[in-house]
Amino acid sequence: MSELAAKAGALDAADELAGARKRFVLDDAVVYLDGNSLGALPANVPGRVEDVVRRQWGELRIRSWDESGWWDAPERIGDRIAPLVGAAPGQIVVGDSTSVNVFKAVVAAVRMANPIAGEAVRDEILVDATTFPTDGYIAESAARMTGCSLRPVTPEQVPDALSGRTAAVLLNHVDYRTGRLHDLPSLTAAVHAAGAYAVWDLCHSAGALPVGLDEHGVDLAIGCTYKYLNGGPGSPAYLYVRHDLQDRFDSPLPGWNSHADPFGMRGEFEPAAGALRGRVGTPDILSMLALEAALEVWDGVSIEAVRAKSLALTDFFLECVGAYVPEGRVESVTPVAHAERGSQVALRCEGAGDVMKALIERGVVGDFRRPDVLRFGFTPLYVGFADVERAARVLADVLADVLGERLPEAARTQAARR
């Protein structure tokens, strides 16, 4: 057994979150490092979904809106997510996709920044230039709709780019390509100092690290639930609206579900009170209740413990890669500093697409981003240190095979001792 394999065993033995792994459906023959794209299936979800389909829908039918709690599911599940992102109850509503919620949040932020109709004093939106493409597309559409100009800047450029024209700033908490963690507290403070509104995309941070929405005064936030929250493919996203902004939140997508009297069927729209203003149409009950079941894996788990393990896992992965992979074969584009790292490691390498395909064939599942980035996501609830050591070892073997060069003697000897 190699020294790193032995170290992995010791770290797993001391891991306070190790027991959470049994809450998921996993194949021990596979190292799953793609939870930053799609989280693993929580073991209790299939039974819950069967109950929703067979009993709640099949037997109770329409009665389930009241008797099974379908109607208030968006707020109830929002309150389950709230502690994971540092929010008090009553500020998060679940529903729609991340893209739809980005649109609601950005347009609403511009409207709050220009409270007098027809007087767009603040007519510029700043958007993270490194953002996931959809956020950029939505921001551009929101800018056209509100008569604003759109200015892409990197998060580091935001403080200098802010001005009296800035209405809203849309930023990603963690860069989806590199895993870089941006400074939410200081950037939010800078946006507020300029009199603008901060909108944060939490897709790659919620469930992986503390966010502190209330603590840092974030105005609006959105995020998906199918990554580190393990809600399932296409599970509904969520929208956070800070308590003191809720009476001014003017959604560009008013629907009957966000009406103060949804069953009154009145011709004129009157927004509901609180976070309910973020609702639009009929909730997607099947996926929403699957998400609610999935969130039970967080019972008794602190986000601080998750963050500590996340950093330990990514540190150990980088250590193993450094030991097993010949120098110069890969380059980490994920920051070394803990304060700047999310819960993934991105490695740049030649032939990354072929390398990832070979990794998956050998039981190590990550993903690939063009043109040359391998992404490995570390979900602390079900990824262990032995998984990490194995992934790095297989990566070294794959690189040697795919790129046609064998490992140096020292690395071969160490791998042979596993």
Residue 166 is labelled as binding a ligand: no
Burial 87-116 (b: 16+ CB within 10 A, else e): beebbbbbbbbbbbbbbbbbbbbbbbbbee
Tell me if residue 226 is catalytic. Answer: yes
* Residue spans of alpha helices (H) in 42-171: 45-51, 64-67, 73-81, 98-113, 133-146, 158-161
Tell me if residue 27 is catalytic. Answer: no
Q: Annotated catalytic residue: which of 21, 151, 165, 227?
A: 227
Angle, alpha carbons 404-410-411 (nearest 5°): 50
Tell me if residue 201 is catalytic. Answer: yes
Q: Annotated catalytic residue: which of 23, 104, 122, 375?
A: 375
Residue 216 is labelled as binding a ligand: no
Residue 146 is labelled as binding a ligand: no
Torsion of CA 331, 333, 338, 343, to 10 degrees: -100
Q: Annotated catalytic residue: which of 103, 226, 238, 240?
A: 226
The label of the residue with tokens 């596993």 reads 418
Residue 379 is labelled as binding a ligand: no
Residue 99 is labelled as binding a ligand: yes
Q: Annotated catalytic residue: which of 201, 219, 284, 397?
A: 201
Residue 34 is labelled as binding a ligand: no
* Residues paired with residue 41 on neighbouring β-strands, in sequence order: 25
45: Cβ contacts below 8 Å, ≥ 6 apart:
232, 290, 293, 294
Residue 256 is labelled as binding a ligand: yes
Q: Annotated catalytic residue: which of 24, 32, 103, 132?
A: 132
Tell me if residue 227 is catalytic. Answer: yes
Residue 201 is labelled as binding a ligand: yes
Residue 98 is labelled as binding a ligand: yes
Distance (Å) of CA 202 to CA 50, 82, 99, 135: 30, 12, 12, 12
Summarize the annotated binding site for pyridoxal 5'-phosphate as residue ranges.
98-99, 132-135, 201, 204, 226, 256, 282
* Residues involved in catalysis: 132, 201, 226-227, 375
Summarize the annotated binding site as residue ranges.
98-99, 132-135, 201, 204, 226, 256, 282
